[in-house]
Structure 1
Amino acid sequence: MSTTGAERPATPRTEVPPTGEPRVRPRFLLGYAFAYFGALAATLAPAILTLQLKVAQLTASAPEIALSLVLGVGALASIVANPVFGRLSDRTTSRWGMRRPWLVGGMLVALVGLLVVAVAPSVAVMTAGWVVAQLGFAANLAVLIALLADHVPVHQRGSVSGLLGFAQAVATVVGIALAMALSSSNVAMFLVPALLMLAGTVVLALLLPDRRLAPADRPPVDLGELLRSYRLSPRRFPDFSWALLSRFALWMSISLVLGYQLFFLRARLGLDEAAASQMVFFGVLAQTATIAVSAFVTGRLSDRWGRRRIFVAVAAAVFSIGLLVLAFVTTVPFYLVAMVVLGFGQGTYVAVDLALITDVLPDKEFDAARDMGLVNVSSALTHTLAPAIAPLFLAIGGGTRNYTALFVAGAVWSMIAAIAAMRVRSAL
């Protein structure tokens, strides 16, 4: 951490690079986006689809409970590992650089974990494999988002963050499409999307102008130092803390929606399972297309206008509006309208949120990957908390299907995200 708690004063940002500050090279940007796309394709395909298919093969009784166990233990591993791997990356003095060993090593560990999941003969072995995979993903992704602070100048962070948001949207569709097409083979449906991660990581590792830390400049690394990876002082670093709260709240809102669309369409609109599954695909497709467009456009506008927090706050408010529409939907067309609104809010948020967080990092020199690991934790934690609290809202009124209450709760989380973003004072 920095030795001072003072926040940096707000400075205007512009798409035109300041004197002496060049743009990041397009070749590196393409490799960066490709690696991010591959990592998320490998991560999201299991989280959204293939783990469910595998669990259904292993147990016919209470597959939801088995899936919750796998996801919950894996999320816990990710939460614990992200800041630690980030801290270790910040302290690495390898001749291959600070980030490259963790980038490549994380990818290899993730592939091993996914292979174990694919061939697992039981839920216990599958859970162990998913934990290994999550550890690999944690190392890889902690480094990937730290590169935004390492190599992207302030005047380009909105555009690059938008490019990463675009890559994330495309990765969701491509990863699920590959998994669906290869669902007849467990190994293929888990490992083929992961090959995109392998390819992207190798390309980025070759292109990366990695930082090298001299042993004499390395801060001490011991158990106490690693335990401090989880420590954050809101008093010393209020802006970074508010930015983390905003991200956590927005992803709580997203997590409350994503896991229940199929059940919602069946209960609210009366669709059968086949029709509801098809409509979920159309809804995700509409949302993803909007995310891709809005992320690309608004990230660039954020750089051009020199503004971050207003984009993030408005995006969270728009997401809240989309959830309120969804809460009272009674027809398919309005469901699709709600998904488009949600896509616009989410796309704008992911495009600028990472840029805002990077601008207010407490210490970009020695703790960038650690702090960005905390960013990953803020969103990963929601995957455990959201399923735990959702039944409380669904049960309001004495039933189990009060989706209006659930989505209104999600809208409240989105507004918390908007308010928290506006509390970030040292970024415009």
Structure 2
Amino acid sequence: MDAILPSVDFTPPLSEQESAVALETNGRTAPPGNDPRTAPANAPKGFIVRAALSNYGLWTALLTPGIITLAIRVEQVAGADFEAVYAAVLSVGATIGMFGNPVWGRLSDRTRSRFGRRRPWIALGAAAGVGGVAVVAFVPQVWALVLGWAIAQAGFNAALAAMMASVPDQVPVKDQGRVSGAFGAAVTGGILTGSMIAAITQNTTLMFMVPCALCLALAAQFALTFKDPQVDARGERFSLKEIGTTFVFNPRRHPDFGWAWLTKFLLVSGSLAPMAYMVYFLADRLDLSATEAGGIVGLLFTASYALQTAVALAGGWFSDRIGRRKPLFTASGLLAVTGLLLMAFAPNLPAIITAQLVLTVAGGLFAAVDGALVFQTLPNPAEPAKDLGIANLANGLPQTILPMVATAILAVGTGSNYTLLFCVSAVFSLLGAATVLQVRSVR
């Protein structure tokens, strides 16, 4: 619609100083946090730590079932049909999470309440997510698994969308690398915590509810202390007709955001295959059973995620220190290419471990600056949550596409063609390292 309807600008001409600021912000009028004229000198005291802890709690509650306990619960409830039921539960949940995130984000942008516009979605989203997980944990019916996981995905994604949007609301550009690194570390930290909980107890209910208790405590500490400013300007009504436009942006009007989205999509696409297929790859390459391979992968990934968390935190700090994002993106992509090619042709376990080490550093560098690049290229910084939701699609779409593409690639030749799969993944990573150079407004 923006390209069709003419617009008339009644604003007065910009002064020389304002014109320079407009150029620095890519021609946008930015709210506090992204506008050099009004941004605070630093992030609010304690904000980054509290936000990262809340993010860590949300991801722990979401990823522990997604990676470990949901599969166990589905087998307990569904019996012999567990594979089909598990696929259905995951598909419904992933679809709601991926497409719900931008919608909740846009609703958060439009929220006008005495509690602010982010706090209600963080608090209620976390509570709804925990409620959905409780349905999965306590109701032994297939329909409850599907419904409960759908509610959990909707709730946690609503909270995560508002949480991400609070960063450009509150944090100036110079500190956003640290936030990006901390949020990236929160994801890997959530995976590590879930793995440790699963290792400590075999009680499925505890494996579901302990992460949820952690989530509620950490979300509460943020929501109760977070100074979420009220927006006085009356927001536009949100109609059902706008839901479709929630998933759309104009890359011609906002080319930097378009290039940032494409970079994110390509690098995520390149990184998925080793994570998703590592058990089967090890079993095939080293002639192991799936159980034996799974034990090795568990140890390998635990060490990898611990290292990736450290790299993400250090990389975010370093990015803020030098005031640059793109060099870390490019390094991440080139390291990913190296690691994927090493993995593709690895003849033994030491070579595979070496390849995984390189991929881990690449993943940590990506996590360190991923959020910062998106924050700094948002089309409308005054309403960031909707566009952050669109950016999140660059995470979700590769996960939806990978199973179909990987199945076709693995079937080439005599079958189990992991060499070709990882080489194709390397091409995606190389393209991602190149496309980030097209972003002009971020160094």
Does TM, scored on the shorter chain, surpass 0.5? yes
Cross-structure match for 1:228? 245
Question: Residues 254-307 of structure 1: CA distance to partner in whole angstroms, max 9, x if unpaired?
Answer: 322212111111111122344322211221123212212211222112112111
| 2:234 is equivalent to residue 217 of structure 1 | yes
What residue in structure 2 maps to residue 396 of structure 1? 412
Q: 1:286–1:340: 8 Å Cα contact kept in structure 2?
A: no
Q: Structure 2 matches for 1:263-274, cutoff 5 A?
A: 263-274=280-291
What RMSD over aligned residues (CA atoms) do the two structures have, in Å?
Answer: 2.3
Offset of 1:90 from its aligned partner?
0.3
**Of the candidates 48, 58, 61, which is equivalent to residue 42 of structure 1?**
61
Alignment of 1:51-200 (within 5 A): 51-61=70-80, 63-184=82-203, 186-200=204-218
Partner amino acid for 1:377? L
Deviation string 1:356-381 (CA, Å, 9 cap, x unpaired) is 1100111111x201111112222122
Q: Give the deviation of 1:38 after TM superposition.
A: 0.6
CA contact (8 A) 2:44 2:170 kept: no
Q: What amino acid does structure 2 have at the position aligned with 1:202? A: A
Q: Counterpart of 2:394 in 1: which secondary structure?
A: helix
Structure 2 counterparts to residues 330-349 of structure 1, below 5 A: 330-349=347-366
Give the Cα–Cα distance (whole angstroms) in 1 for the partners of residues 300 and 422 of structure 2. 16
Pair 266,203 (structure 1): closer, same or farther in 2 beyond 3 Å = same
How far off is 1:80 after superposition? 2.1
Native 8 Å contact 1:179 1:190 kept in 2: no
Match of 1:240 in 2: 257
Tell me, yes or no, if structure 1 residue 321 matches structure 2 residue 335.
no
Cα displacement string for residues 157-181 of structure 1 (whole angstroms, at most 9, x for unaligned residues) = 1122112222222221012211343
Runs of 4+, deviation exceeding 4 Å: 1-4, 6-11, 17-20
The letter of the residue matching 2:434 is: I
What's 2:430 paired with? 415
Q: Is the 8 A contact 1:36 1:167 kept in 2?
A: yes
Q: For residue 117 of structure 1, report the CA deviation from its aligned partner.
A: 1.4
**Whole-Å separation in 2 of the counterparts to 1:297 and 1:71:** 33
User: Could you report, residue by residue, the CA deviation over 1:165-214 in whole angstroms, capped at 9, with x for unpaired residues?
Assistant: 22222221012211343333x32111211222111110100121102112
- 1:20-31 map, 5 Å: 21-31=40-50
Q: What are the superposed Cα offsets for residues 48-100 of structure 1, whole Å, 9 maximum, x if unpaired?
A: 11122122223454644332221111111112211111111001111001000
What is the one-letter code of the residue matched to 1:371?
D
- One-letter code of the match for 1:347? G
Partner residue of 2:225 out of 207, 228, 235? 207
In structure 1, C-alpha distance between the alignment counterparts of 2:262 and 2:122, rounded to whole Å: 27
One-letter code of the match for 2:153? Q
**Matched residue pairs, number?**
418
Give unmatched runs, 5+ long, in structure 2.
9-18, 26-35
Q: Which amino acid aligns with 1:302?
A: S
Distance 1:9 1:322 in 2: 38
Equivalent residue, structure 2, for 1:276: 293
Counterpart in the other structure of 2:32? none
Contact 2:112 2:234 in 1 (8 A): no
In the aligned structure 2, how far is the partner of 1:175 from the partner of 1:18?
A: 43
The one-letter amino acid of 1:27's match is: G
User: Cα–Cα, structure 1 residues 394 and 61, in superposed 2: closer, same or farther, change >3 Å?
Assistant: farther
Specify the code of the residue in structure 1 equivalent to 2:271: I
Q: Distance in 2 between matches of 1:417 and 1:54?
A: 37
Distance 2:83 2:417 in 1: 19
Report how far residue 308 of structure 1 moved: 1.0
Q: Is the 8 A contact 1:289 1:343 kept in 2?
A: no
3-state SS of 1:223 partner? coil
Asked if 1:379 corresponds to 2:398, the answer is no
Residue 26 of structure 1: CA displacement?
A: 4.2
Cα distance in 1, alignment partners of residues 368 and 402 from structure 2: 23
Partner amino acid for 1:285? T
Q: CA deviation at 1:19?
A: 10
> Is the 2:257–2:379 Cα contact (8 Å) retained in structure 1?
yes
| Pick aligned residue for 1:370 from 380, 386, 391 | 386
Aligned-residue identity in percent = 36
Higher relative contact order (CA 8 A, sep 6+): 1
Provide, for residues 131-170 of structure 1, a one-character-per-residue CA deviation record: whole Å limited to 9, x for no partner: 1111001101101111221111111111221122222222
Deviation of 1:406 (Å): 1.5
SS of match in other structure, 1:276:
helix
Whether the aligned pair in 2 keeps the contact of 1:9 and 1:427 (CA below 8 Å) is no
Q: Give the conservation status (yes or no) of the 8 Å contact 1:229–1:370.
A: yes
TM-score, L = length of structure 1 = 0.92
Secondary structure at the aligned position of 1:374 is classed as helix
Does the aligned pair in 1 maintain the 2:112–2:230 contact within 8 Å?
yes
Partner Cα separation in structure 2 for residue 10 and residue 419 of structure 1 = 23
Gaps of 5+ in 1: 12-16
State how 1:2-21 maps to structure 2 within 5 Å. Answer: 9=23, 21=40
Measure, in 2, the Cα distance between the counterparts of 1:63 and 1:310: 45
